[in-house]
Chains A and B, each alone.
Chain A
Amino acid sequence: DTAVSQTPKYLVTQMGNDKSIKCEQNLGHDTMYWYKQDSKKFLKIMFSYNNKELIINETVPNRFSPKSPDKAHLNLHINSLELGDSAVYFCASSQVKGLQETQYFGPGTRLLVL
């Protein structure tokens, strides 16, 4: 069983469209994340949710809206897609124990905006 799964794996779409990426974790973790990896492989956190509550919101255009229906899911909706949104988006989850936790990553969603 995949611990952190994402759908779709690949997403090709036109500029201006709205798309969603889904993430699910079956690890029982209470915190989930979205990261963006650009074409130079640079990884940067976008959002973090703890028990369905937003705790990290980096400087991300408001076209990006995360939604957490429950602790096991964190979806990413992107409005009015732009060419610069092309990247690999990784979901991750963790269980905070005191101040220490390890993040486990999904396989990534490769988004290409044409």
Chain B
Amino acid sequence: AQSVTQPDIHITVSEGASLELRCNYSYGATPYLFWYVQSPGQGLQLLLKYFSGDTLVQGIKGFEAEFKRSQSSFNLRKPSVHWSDAAEYFCAVGVDSSYKLIFGSGTRLLVRP
């Protein structure tokens, strides 16, 4: 069965520090991969996506993610975190031609001043 694992429930980083949020997926076919961000009390905003091609994808707000097929991973990175990045981050894999998104359980990012 398809699944997405985000092993870190919470991550705390200092403002200005680098960030990496982990995501591993289980899916037999070529995955369509997404990262969404949810600010407190808000909906989900798409950060970036991977469908094919270059395995390093750039997103909004300075985020990037790298698809590694050998590790079944799609980790999200940012070189320098801002206080406004504090939010919940969700990794998702699209199955059945992306009609259905399977979400991970989310990682809450806390930013220390």
Contact = CB atoms under 8 A, between A and B. Distances in A.
Interface residues of B, number: 23
Majority SS of interface residues in chain B?
Answer: strand
Given A41-B105, A41-B106, A43-B90, A94 B98 contact: yes
Given A102-B34, A107-B42, A44 B49 contact: no
Interface in A19-70: 31, 35, 40-45, 48, 50, 55-56
B32 interface: yes
A43 B103 contact: yes
Nearest to B46: A102
Q: How large is the interface on A (under 10, 10 to 19, 20 to 34, 35 or more residues)?
A: 20 to 34
A35 B44 CA distance: 11
B90 A96 contact: no
B88 A100 contact: no
Interface in B27-42: 32, 34, 36, 38, 42
Majority SS of interface residues in chain A?
Answer: strand
B31 to A, nearest CB: 12
A4 B46 CA distance: 13
Interface of B: 32, 34, 36, 38, 42-46, 49, 51, 88, 90, 94, 96-101, 103, 105-106
